[in-house]
Structures are given as C-alpha cells and as structure tokens.
Structure 1
Amino acid sequence: MNIEQLKSDLIEYAKSIGVDKIGFTTASPFEEMKNRLIRQQALNYQSGFEERDVEKRTDPKKLLPEGESIIAIALAYPSKMKNPPAGKKGERRGIFARASWGLDYHVAVKERLDLMEQWLRERVPDVSVKSMVDTGELVDRAVAERAGIGWSGKNCSIITPEFGSYVYLGEMITNIPFPPDAPIENECGDCRLCLDICPTGALVEAGRLNSKRCIAFLTQTKDYLPDEFRREIGNRVYGCDTCQTVCPKNKGKANWIHEEFMPVPELAKPLLVPLLNLSNKEFKRKFGTMAGSWRGKKPIQRNAILALAHFKEQSAVPELIELLKNDERPVIRGTSAWALGVIGGEQAKEALLEALQQEKDEEVLREIGKGLELLGRG
C-alpha cells in the first residue's frame, strides 16, 4: 500500500464531500494539553460537559490501541447573516451564536467522517478507525493544532488563515500510519483584543478559559444564572461570539460556503416573547435541527427572560407576570421575578407583591425579594 498516495487521494476525496481543511498528525499523546487539563481541573475551570478522564482526552491509544495517526478535518461556517431581522421596541430579538446557525454541526461533521471511513474501508479492508466530533474524548483543538489545521488562539479557538476561527472540527484516529503534517505558525502576536473584551473575564490569560465564567457555557446551564452574570448576557439566548467577532483574523471572513450552515434568520435571531411559551413539541419542531437546542427549551427560555430585562421591554411585562404566577418551573418563575424588577413599573410591582404572598418556593421568594429591591432603587 502506497500510504503517500492514499493520503493524497483521501485529501481530494475529503474536499469533494465538503471538507474545507484536512490535516494529519500522529497518534502520540498530547502531553502539553494533558498538563493544561490537569491545571484546569486544579483551578476548577472546567465546565463539566467534558470527558473527565484526562488520559482519554490526551492519549489517542486509550481510545484506539492500534492507532497510528489522526486525521483532523474542519468545516467553515458563516460569520454573517444575509438579511438579518432587526429587533425593535415591542419586538425584541435574541441571538444564537454563529456555531448554532443552520444544521447541527455534530450531524454535518459526523456525516463527512462517516463517508471518509467508508472510503478508507473500501481501499484498506482491515482499517481500524474511531471518529469523534466535539462530544468525543479527544480535545479537538489540540488535534487540529498539531495537524496543521490552524493555530490555537488566545481566545482558545483554532484560527485558520482561510476561514478565521469560524470552523467546526472533527477527527478520526486510524491504524494507518499517515505521514504527519506540520503545525502552522501562531499569528496572534501582541494582540489581546479577545482577552480585553470578554464580558465576564472568562479568558483569564492567553489560551486559558475559566469555562464557568464563559457566557457560552452560562447560556447552556439550567439553573438560576448567578447574579453577577445576568446583565452580561445581553440578548444572547445561546452561546457567545464576542471573542471571535473582535478577532482581526476574522475580519472579512463571511464563509458563505455550505448551504446547510446558512442561518434561517427568524431562528438565528428569534423574537423573544414567543420563546417564552413554546411547548416541548413546538421547540423541537422549530429549533430541533440546531446545535443550540441540545439542552432543551428551559435554558433558552430563561435566557430570553434575561434578554427582555436587558432591553427593559415594558411590553413583555404581562407575559413575565404570567410566567411568575403559573409556570411550573421555579427557575423560570424566579428569573421572571428578577426581570420584572429590572423592567420596573407599577404593574410589575403589584405582581411581585402578590407573588410574595402566594409563592412557596424559597429560591423563588428570594428572587421576588431581589425584584422588589430593584424596583425600590428605581
């Protein structure tokens, strides 16, 4: 078997199925990443969504003992929306992060990896492979960096010369000893825009993220949002792009390449008030194909309430009062109480005072107290 030729042919095939970048590296352990992850755990900076076993995250042979190399791929996604709908008073809109526009990337990237697996099996019958996208054990960023897809930016994203950091990553461990590609030079230089502009200070230093402070993580949690972050969410209902939108390497990278990733404007920038009363069935029908739907409707609805508070949207007060009175979920009732306090007005005050007499949940009662305190300050 001519491995150099196989590699060349695979690169051509990958491009033909919509893979925008492909790189190869060895299946040797990622020692530097291992040390970083151990440090992350010691600092309690992990989100909790990751694989906890550091060995599995950094040693490909723990996942495929006969592994010899790793194939890394990247698919570019859009950074700009054509004809974005504008929010206005009475019709406020939220925003999903760009990585959740269009079809769920887990599906799209996995489809490409599956096709590549099939292609390899047809040519190398005894091939062994293990593919993964985002939720797999390996750290996608470490694989992509070593395989020459891009460099690891100070904002903890892989930055490619062609598409900026707007790329989805995936990888495949294989027992075929493909020749590795060289990593590319880090071009961040002295720039620290992403570090300086992070709304919550989650980027504690170049290349180190405190996930628990990251808005992208916070918007995916299901409990009450800690008070210090509530006003930083803005109108984000899922994810955060701030550290990408300020990056000079992303300037001019629209990446209108794959039709499946092009956003449906009314879904990517949805009206906030209609989000509040969606049933599970309606939510799945409307948003189910987007990556941002994976945690269900509750975090999206909580974030929509916070966004309405951000806008001080008076027209939403009746809907928020309805949630405060009748929603079965304490987090939604409590967040609505806080939002009513931020928005203010006599109607909000009356509703909070009434809820204070009727509510039984202690945490919701605390949120009602916060709302009344905010009204008092107003």
Structure 2
Amino acid sequence: MNWEQLKLDLIEYSKHIGIDKIGFASAEPFQELKHRLLRQEELGYQSGFEEPDIEKRTNPQLVLSGAQSIIAIALAYPSKLKNAPQSKRGERRGIFCRASWGQDYHAVLRDRLQKLEQFLQERVPNVQVKSMVDTGELSDRAVAERAGIGWSGKNCAIITPEFGSYVYLGEMLTNLPFPPDIPLEEGCGTCNKCVEVCPTGALIQGGQLDSQKCIAFLTQTKGFLAEEYRVKIGNRLYGCDTCQTVCPKNKGIDFHLHPEMEANPELVKPLLKPLLTIGNREFKEKYGYMSGSWRGKKPIQRNAILALAHYKDETAIPDLIAVMKQDPRPVMRGTAAWALGRIGMKEAAEEIEKAKQAEQDEQVLAEMEKGLIMLQDIQN
C-alpha cells in the first residue's frame, strides 16, 4: 500500500465532507504532556471532567493496540452572532459561549470522523480505527499540535493560522502508518493578553490553566458557586470566550462554513427571567441539541440568577422572590436570596426575613443572611 498516496486521497476526501483542516501525527506516547498532566494533578488544577487515567491520556497504545498514527481534524465555527438581540432594562439577556452555538459539536465532528472511517475501511479492509471528540482518552489539543493543525496558545487553545482558535477538534487513532506532518512553530511570541485579562486569574501562565478557577468550568458546576466568582460570571450562562476574544490571532476571524453551527440568536442570547421557571421538557426541546445543555438546566438557571444580580435588574425581584420561596432546589433558593441582596431593593429584606422562617436548609439560610447583610449595607 502506498501510504503517502492514501494520505493525499484522504486529505482530498476530507475537503468534500466539510473538514476544514486535517493533519497526521505519529502514535508515539505524549511524554511531555504526561509530565504536564502529572504536575496539573499535583497542583489540583484538573476540572474532573477529563479522563482520569493519565497513562491512557498519553499512551495511544492503551487506547488502540497497534496504533501507528493519529489523524487530527479541525472544523471552524462562527465567532460573530448575526441578528443578535439586545439586552435592555426589564429584558436582560444571558449568553452561551461560541462553542455552544448551533448543533452540539460532538455530533458534528463524529459525523465527519465516521465518514473518514468508512473511507479507510473501503480501501484497507483490515484497518483498525478509534475516533474521539473532546470526551475521549487522548488530549485533542496535544494531538492537533503534533499533527500540525495549529500551535498550543497561551490561552490553552489550539490556534490555527487560518481560523484562529475558533475551531473544534477531533481525532482518529489508526493502525495505518501514515507519514506524519510537521508541527507548527509557536506563534504567540511575547503577547500575554489572554493571561492578563482572564477574569478569575485561571490562566496561571501561558499554557497553564487552573480549571477550578476557569469561568468555562465554573458555569458547568451544579452547586453553590463560591462568592468570589459570582460577580465575575457576568451574564455568562455557559462557557467563557474572554481568552479567545482578546487574542490578536482571532482579530477579524469569523467563518460560517457549516450550517449546523449557525446559532439561533434567541437561544444563545436568551432572556434571563423565563429561564428561572423553564421546565425540563421545554428546556430539552429548546436547548437539548446544543452542547451547552449537557449538564442539564440547573447550572444554566443558577447562572441566570447570577446574571440578573450582575445587571441589578430590579424588574426581576418578583421572579427571584418566587424562586427563593418556591423552588425545591436549595442551590436555587439560596442563590436567589443572595441575588436579592445584591440587587439591593429595600422590599427584598422583608421577603427574605419571611422566607427564613420556613427555610430549613443550612446553606440556604447562610445565603439569606448574606443577602440581608448586603441590604443593610445599602440602607446604611
């Protein structure tokens, strides 16, 4: 078999099925990544969403026995929202990050990878493959970097010369010996903007992230959010784009190449107050196809409460009082009480005092006290 020719054929085919960039890498162990991951684990910087076995994350042979090469793919996604609705007094809106616009990217990339698998299976009947997107054992970023898709930026994203960092990544392990591509040179240089403007200081240094502080991670948690981060969430409902939007390599970048990735403006920038009472069925029907729905409605609703507090939206006070008194979930009741204190209207104090009499959850009571203290400070 002429592996170089098969590689060229595969590259040509990838263009026809909507893959914007493809690269090839060896399946040798990722030794440098292993050292970095062990250090991340030691420092407690992991999010907990990753594959826990560092050996599997760094040794392709443990994922596919006999693996010889890895095919990396990238699809560019939009960075500008067309016909974006405006957030205004009484109609405040939240925002989903760009990686949650359109159809869940996991499904989009899996579709492209399956087509590549079929292409190879038709030409090499005994081929062995294993594809993954985001939730697989391997590090998408490390594979893409080795395969020449882009360099690993200081914002911990792969930055491509063509599409900036607005790309989704996926990869396929195979037992075929494809000639590898050459990695790109690092292109961030002395620029340190992403590290400097990270809202929570989660980018410890260029290329090192404390996931526990990252807003993209925090918006996906389900419990009470630490108070130090509540005011930094802003109106983000899911994810965070700050380290990408400030990147000079992303200036002027906006690709609309895939219909599946086009956003519904009303869903990716939704009104906040209706989210507080949305039911499970309606949430799944509206948001279930988006990647930002994978943790369910609870984190989105909590973040919507924090966003209303961020805006100090006085028109939301009746809605927040109802959540504080009626929502069966302690996180929602407590966060609503805190938000009422943050918004700072005097009538909220009386409602919090009333709700305290019926409340039995210790964490919720603590949040109610925080709300009352904030209201007292405002009145004084």
Write the distance in 2 (CA, Å) between the matches of 1:315 and 1:360: 28
Write the distance in 1 (CA, Å) between the matches of 2:348 and 2:16: 58
* 1:219 aligned onto 2:219: yes
The aligned counterpart of 1:36 is 36
Write the distance in 1 (CA, Å) between the matches of 2:118 and 2:31: 31
Write the distance in 2 (CA, Å) between the matches of 1:347 and 1:51: 48
Write the distance in 1 (CA, Å) between the matches of 2:248 and 2:317: 40
Q: Is the 8 A contact 2:23 2:144 kept in 1?
A: yes
The aligned counterpart of 1:142 is 142
Describe the superposition over 1:2-40 as per-residue Cα deviations: whole angstroms up to 9, x where unpaired: 111100000011111000000000000010000000000
The aligned counterpart of 1:347 is 347
The aligned counterpart of 2:74 is 74
Write the distance in 2 (CA, Å) between the matches of 1:133 and 1:291: 12
**Within 5 A, what are the aligned runs for 1:23-62?**
23-62=23-62
Write the distance in 2 (CA, Å) between the matches of 1:242 and 1:328: 34
Write the distance in 2 (CA, Å) between the matches of 1:224 and 1:19: 40
Deviation at 1:199, TM superposition (A): 0.2
Write the distance in 2 (CA, Å) between the matches of 1:376 and 1:242: 34
Write the distance in 2 (CA, Å) between the matches of 1:377 and 1:259: 51
* 1:6 aligned onto 2:6: yes
AA paired with 1:376?
A: Q
Q: Secondary structure at the match of 2:277?
A: coil
The aligned counterpart of 1:297 is 297
Any unmatched runs of 5+ in structure 1? none
Q: Secondary structure at the match of 2:188?
A: coil
The aligned counterpart of 1:241 is 241
Deviation at 1:105, TM superposition (A): 0.3
Deviation at 1:255, TM superposition (A): 1.1
Deviation at 1:128, TM superposition (A): 0.1
Cα RMSD for the two superposed structures: 0.5
Any unmatched runs of 5+ in structure 2? none
**Equivalenced residues, count:** 378
* 1:117 aligned onto 2:117: yes
Describe the superposition over 1:248-272 as per-residue Cα deviations: whole angstroms up to 9, x where unpaired: 0000101111111011100110000
**Within 5 A, what are the aligned runs for 1:332-371?**
332-371=332-371
Describe the superposition over 1:100-123 as per-residue Cα deviations: whole angstroms up to 9, x where unpaired: 000000000000001110111011
Describe the superposition over 1:118-149 as per-residue Cα deviations: whole angstroms up to 9, x where unpaired: 11101100000000000001000000000000
Deviation at 1:302, TM superposition (A): 0.1
Write the distance in 2 (CA, Å) between the matches of 1:122 and 1:335: 55
Q: Secondary structure at the match of 1:170?
A: strand
Describe the superposition over 1:264-305 as per-residue Cα deviations: whole angstroms up to 9, x where unpaired: 100110000011111110000000000000000000000000
Write the distance in 2 (CA, Å) between the matches of 1:357 and 1:331: 18
Describe the superposition over 1:60-88 as per-residue Cα deviations: whole angstroms up to 9, x where unpaired: 01000110000000000000011111100
AA paired with 2:162?
A: E
The aligned counterpart of 2:286 is 286
AA paired with 1:245?
A: T
Write the distance in 2 (CA, Å) between the matches of 1:142 and 1:167: 14
TM-score normalized by the length of structure 1: 1.00
Deviation at 1:356, TM superposition (A): 1.5
Write the distance in 1 (CA, Å) between the matches of 2:294 and 2:271: 20
Deviation at 1:345, TM superposition (A): 1.1
